[in-house]
Structure 1
Amino acid sequence: MKEYQLPQAPTRLALRDALRVRSAAFPWNRAIGSGLATCLPILIGLLLGDIIHGFSAALGAFTFLYIGAETYKQRAKKLAAVAVCLTIAMVLGTLLAPFMFTLSIVAGVIGVIAFYVLNTFQLVIPGPMFFVLIFCLATGLPVDPQSAWERGFYVLLGGALSWLLAMSSWLWAKKNHEKQVIVKSYRQLMAMLQAIGTPSFYQMQHVTVLTLKQADRIIYGSKRKPSTLHLHELATDIFHTMTQLKNANLTSEQLKPIEAQLHAVIDAIEDAKGNWPAHNTSCESLKTLQLEVEQAYALASQQEAEGSTSVKTESAWRVLVSGISFTNLTVRHAMFYGLFIMIASLLAHSLGFNRPYWVPVACAAVLIGANTTLTIHRAIQRSLGTIVGTLIGGLILSLEPSGYYLIAAVGILQLCVELSIVRNYVFANMFIAPLVLIIVETMNPGNAISYFVTARVVDTIFGSIIAITAVLLFWRGIHSRFLPFLLKDTIQHMQELLHAIHTDKQERKQMKKLTNSLIGLRAAYERSLGDFSASQQHAEILWPAIMHTQHAGYLLMAFQKRNETLSDAQYDALQNQLGNLLTILHTKQPAALQAYSELDLQQELNQLQTVLAQLYTAANKPTLAPS
């Protein structure tokens, strides 16, 4: 029998990683598209003899940056919403520019809403900063509340042009996004299959869940063929089957035929020619998996007539409302984010900064960091990049470019931003700073170049200092402190799903709650690795418990997916085990253990009980977060 191995915890983040250059492919399509989206409004304004309003419309080009992996229908809705929200930010900023206290509060509210909405829908790139940026830039333009609707109109026009550019790729590249995400799901299932019996299994299991969840959003939100939906549902079934095989003591020789068949499924989905590698496994534990893979191949190979099927999904509004809870870390992070944007704005105006709007913008950009280390990374990267970038911007402005030369400079800078940001944020800021400097100086002429350059550097550094101070004083270690609470919450969701399975009531709803809880638990752990030393060690103590909880949760879901029936004795035993776990977490004292071994799930819960009992026997006891 193979010895049980718990994988090592993920690597901690270090401050030196702030200047590490990543090896990533250059996103040429995105870069060229964003460059065109920024240039075209200015070019149109120049040709119409009104370049100032062309620059106003160029602010709407930030809409283009929110394209992602989605269907064209989803992209159309998302980018339209972004363009409208950027327009509202411009209108509000122009109207409230004379009122220091009110505009600071509204800047914070915009930060809260944008952060919560984008993170709830996992649109973390490029994040909420651009909504704060547009609002704050509007407050820095010549004070003229009567021009609010006019400025907003031009931003909306720029957003509409970006929408057209983002959607125009359909004309020459009619990508089947549903097929792409299905292929990605089956490739990830291949990686999970290869990890069975290895210490990397837990990581592959987690990545596979994230991949399938992304596929949920794309496939359920699109017009799809029935076979596409069935292939996605089969991928979920295959995942749960592989989860049950984790402790099956399978050899690589036994798994290779299944790998070959999964390869054939992927080829069939991609319409590649190939033969089915026929193989009848003699291993009883692999027969269910092989049957599911064969079904997937049959679906992928068949020629299906055009048609679509629909699945009832939760509305976006319901998703947002259901997530509002003070125990939700995303809600807390959003409130923290907005609060210190407001404080940064109030301080900048109170201290008499020349261009006070740069301070909350810098604070907003830095606070996007998910933990202490990443926040310091962002501060270092933004400060260094801004210093170099403002020098570049000052040099460009000293040449007094105009007309087509000015448009070319803006387009090239935006192109460089998108190409360099995948390598390191500091490089991107070397181009962001001169780009914004040129736009603002053109829209607000009459000041010396040195005035803009000095104000930008000083304000950016001050805003970054506010963000770092806020994180060190109020946010450091929050993910580590919340881990025991999230662990308890996840186990409670396991109890609820177990009850739903036993009573055949609301199983789908409880499955979704448990999946989100498991993903949130793992995300909080990974963010805690960016806290400083004491908090990192605090979190790493819980790593074995988190991994056993993750696997136990997915084993429980496998019961629901396979419609397996639990006897009353099995149900009572599982509820007893889960109750013991909650008792240990609530009292922070080891409880009397009762081991069960009839089911794989019971064996996993036995290991989790042992880990928690040992954890709370030690002197270092994690503290539950306040509810």
Structure 2
Amino acid sequence: MGKHAGPSRPRQKDTEGVIRARPLPVKSTVRLRRPMEARHWHKPAFSAAVAIAVPDLALLALDRMDLVLYTSAGAMCALYGHNKPYAARARTVAWVILSMIASLAVGLVSSAFVGNTLLLVLIASALAAVHKMMCDATRIGPPGNLIITFISASAFFVPQQPGLIPFHLLLAVVGGAVAWLVCMAPWLVRPEGPQRIATARALEAAAGLLRAAPDAAGPRHATAAAVNAAWQTLFLVPARSAAKYNARARLERLLIHAESALAEPAAGARSADAARFDAWAQDLRRGRPLPEVALDAGQTAELAGIAADQAAMAGRGQEAMARTGAGTDFGSGSGSGTDFGSGQDGGAADLRRPSPDHLRHLRGFRPVLEQLRPGSPLLPVGVRVMIGCTLAGWASMAIGSEHPYWAVVTAASVFQANTTLSWQRALQRALGNLLGLLLFTALLPVIHTGHLAMVLLILLFQVGAEAWIPRNYWLGSVCVTPMALLLTSFGNAMPAGVLVRDRWVDTVVGAVIGLICCVLVTNRRATDRIEAAVARVVAAREAAVAVLDADLPDDHEAVYETAYEAGWARDRLAAALVELREAVEVASGEWWQRALPAERVALTERDGHRTLARLVRRLTAPTLAA
């Protein structure tokens, strides 16, 4: 049974007509945790701090701290892209910066030409809904839509002169350029850092699986997801030179070994393999030289099949096959022939390539647009954000708050993938903001000493927020709240009592109204997503079984093709299983919807993982090269 599949209830059938209500958790909402990702909090934290410090100190020297909002719009983009290889990070951060500037432009133009505050709230809420859906569709990762929504919503309510809009946007471009340079700077020191960390996470997950009970579903799901994410990372790494080729090839060999944990190895080898995986992960994280790792004959044949296929596609089939097979001894199983390409002639053809399903999700606008098509489960989320933010902003105005965009941002932050997560985020936001307001009040004597103290506090809070958010969102909000108040204070000085009052009122209004919208606008399509994910797993499993049931070939050329097909079948099945687990986790958090097909999901996952294990064993079997 899957980890979310509880015991069967009497008389509860796996049908669409059954409705069930899910209780909302409280204790787990405020409990601190120790996530694996917390060890890398310093990367986005100090990147953003440096990116903010450079323009802020320049503005401080020029005595123009009223322009902090515009430079911060670009500088805050330094929080994004830290889990991607540097080539992909360069593109990702650039797109985030462009999106931030475009959103800022909408806010500034609306502020300059729209005089109706009700309409400003409506436009800001619509933009927040776009941010939420686009960030979910692109899976941009933390901090998601929150930063872009906060900056752009603030711009809607800052007095603006039309003639100054180009200058203010130019400041945002400058801040974005600084953020881009800061994000790319570590490439000079550790150009392989992101892919090393992704591979290390996969090895650590595989070690955890080997130490767990053989039938444990949780570690198996975690390992499949970590391995899949690591492959996605490596697929983004170019290999245009000999050095880059060799570095990526060594990481691929380590990742192939991590993937072998899914094949349910013999009990006697589990402990030794787990210790070896942990040692490799430590080497990767500490920047030590990549270990030389041998591959089994089946793994070698898979890479050879990729080389042959890529060469044939380029019209160089026979020549490349001769070159590939010249130094390869499949029968030995020692991995001595794994160095297929020197990389001197651009030949990284024998590196593992993404399957068509992987490739479809890696690049281009089409995958994003497909997730926003009519009937998409993201559309109810966008409706929630639009309605909730609008009502929260209007309610804040009705109460008399001078910062209705805080209610808009709070409501936008509340909306998560399902009702349960939204409930947790609402409680966390309220608790964190209350404590943050108390901290801001306690620091007022320091804040009143001048702008330099305010800038230093902003940098300190930025680092603290990134350090504490992985432990729990409410803990990070303790730092985010005073930082937001300080950013607001530069351009529009107001009494501290008014700021604290408005912030607390807007937080409560945004959280309550946002949560009410989450409860009323349930995502009934979440269960439909499970049905579609189950169908994809079944189709991928059937294709994999067809590959497994095929007779093993006798000649080496056919071995390449067989291994290549098995590799693609494995990729497709692993990705489908990860997607199914994500769909179940999202749907299981909706408080009111059709009953989840728990038994069918559990059986599908069980059969899928068993078939995946057979595929991995096939690709690591010495007999494949017989």
Within the candidate set 321, 328, 343, 2:369 is matched to 321
Whether the aligned pair in 1 keeps the contact of 2:48 and 2:77 (CA below 8 Å) is: no
Please tell me whether residue 42 in structure 1 is matched to residue 100 in structure 2.
no
CA contact (8 A) 1:96 1:102 kept: no
Match of 2:67 in 1: 53
Question: Structure 1 residue 554 and structure 2 residue 573: aligned?
Answer: no
1:229 Cα shift?
5.2
The aligned residue for residue 431 of structure 1 is 479
Partner residue, 2:348: 309
Structure 1 window deviating more from structure 2 (52-61 vs 414-423): it is: 52-61
- Which residues in structure 2 correspond to 1:155-194 (within 5 Å)? 155-194=172-211
CA distance 1:501–1:102, shift in 2 (3 Å): farther
Shift of 1:377: 1.6
2:495 pairs with 1:448: yes
Q: 1:463 aligns with which of 510, 515, 528?
A: 510
Q: Deviations over 1:64-103 (max 9, x none)?
A: 1114222222222211221222122221111113254654
- Deviating more after overlay: 127-136 vs 175-184: 175-184
1:336-385 Cα offsets, whole Å, 9 max, x none, are: 33443344345545665432111110001111x33322212211111122
Other-structure match for 1:198: 214
1:491 alignment partner, one of 534, 538, 551: 538
The alpha-carbon deviation at position 22 of structure 1 amounts to: 2.0
**1:317 to 1:293, Cα distance in 2 relative to 1, 3 A:** farther
Look up the match of 1:418.
466
Q: Which moved more, 1:537-546 or 1:78-87?
A: 537-546
Kindly indicate whether the alpha-carbon contact (under 8 Å) linking 2:406 and 2:507 is maintained by their aligned counterparts in 1. Answer: yes
Find the counterpart in structure 2 of residue 21 from structure 1. Answer: 32
Contact 1:90 1:135 (C-alpha < 8 Å) held by counterparts: yes
Quote the Cα distance in structure 2 between the aligned partners of 1:143 and 1:331.
33
Q: Cα distance 1:20–1:185, how it changes in 2: closer, same or farther (>3 A)?
A: closer
State the AA in 2 paired with 1:110: L
SS in 2 for 1:475: coil
Amino acid of the structure 1 residue aligned with 2:448: E
For 2:89, which of 62, 65, 75 is the aligned residue?
75
SS at match of 1:126: coil
Structure 2 unaligned blocks of 5 or more: 7-22, 298-329, 551-560, 622-626
Aligned-pair CA distance for 1:154: 1.5
Q: Is the 8 A contact 1:410 1:435 kept in 2?
A: yes
Q: Residue in 1 aligned with 2:236? A: 221
Which amino acid is 1:58 matched to? Answer: S
CA distance 1:101–1:299, shift in 2 (3 Å): farther
Higher relative contact order (CA 8 A, sep 6+): 2
Paired with 1:162 and 1:271, the residues of 2 have a C-alpha distance of 28
Work out the CA distance in 2 between the residues paired with 1:315 and 1:464: 35
Q: C-alpha displacement at 1:57, in angstroms?
A: 1.0
1:76, 1:163 within 8 Å by CA — same for their partners in 2? yes
Question: Matched residues in 1 for 2:618 and 2:124: separation?
Answer: 46
Instruction: Go from structure 1 to structure 2 and tell me whether the alpha carbon gap of 1:43 and 1:326 turns closer, same or farther (over 3 Å shift).
Output: same
Q: Choose which of 159, 174, 177 in structure 2 pairs with 1:142.
A: 159
Q: Is the 8 A contact 2:538 2:604 kept in 1?
A: no
- Pair 306,436 (structure 1): closer, same or farther in 2 beyond 3 Å: farther
Q: 1:359 aligns with which of 397, 404, 407?
A: 407
**Residue 576 of structure 2 is aligned to residue 517 of structure 1:** yes
- Provide the residue aligned with 2:109 in structure 1: 95
1:132 shift after superposition: 1.2
Report the Cα offset of residue 544 of structure 1: 2.6
Residue 129 of structure 2 is aligned to residue 129 of structure 1: no
CA distance in 1, matches of 2:54, 2:442: 24
2:268 matches 1:253: yes
Question: TM-score with structure 1 length normalisation?
Answer: 0.72
1:337 to 382, 385, 404: 385
Give the 3 Å change call, closer, same or farther, for CA 438–146 of structure 1 in structure 2: same
The equivalent of 2:602 in structure 1 is 544
Quick check: 1:20–1:424 contact (8 Å CA) kept in 2? yes
Matched residues in 1 for 2:268 and 2:538: separation?
A: 36
- Count matched residues: 540
- In structure 2, do the counterparts of structure 1 residues 231 and 205 end up closer, same or farther at CA, with 3 Å as the change threshold? farther
Q: How far off its partner does 1:206 sit? A: 2.3
- Secondary structure (helix, strand or coil) at the match of 2:384 reads helix
Does 2:585 correspond to 1:526?
yes
- For residues 39 and 238 of structure 1, do their structure 2 counterparts lie closer, same or farther at Cα, with a shift above 3 Å needed? closer
1:462 positional shift? 0.5
Q: What SS does structure 2 have at the residue aligned with 1:316?
A: coil
Question: Amino acid of the residue matched to residue 116 of structure 1?
Answer: M
Q: In the alignment, is the contact (CA less than 8 A) between 2:341 and 2:348 conserved in 1?
A: no
- Contact preservation (8 Å) 1:190, 1:259: yes
Contact kept, 8 Å, 1:375 with 1:468, in 2: the verdict is yes
1:576 matched residue in structure 2: none
Equivalent pair of 1:38/1:58 in contact (CA under 8 Å) = yes
Q: Is the 8 A contact 2:208 2:274 kept in 1?
A: no
Q: Does 1:389 align with 2:436?
A: yes
- The answer to whether the Cα contact below 8 Å between 1:63 and 1:82 also exists between their aligned partners in 2 is yes
CA RMSD of aligned residues (A): 4.4
Counterpart AA for 2:404: P
* Structure 1 CA distance for aligned equivalents of residues 338 and 138 of structure 2: 30
> Which stretches in structure 1 are left out of the alignment for 5+ residues?
1-5, 281-290, 564-627
Structure 1 residue 334, shift from structure 2 partner: 4.0
Q: TM-score, normalising length from structure 2?
A: 0.72
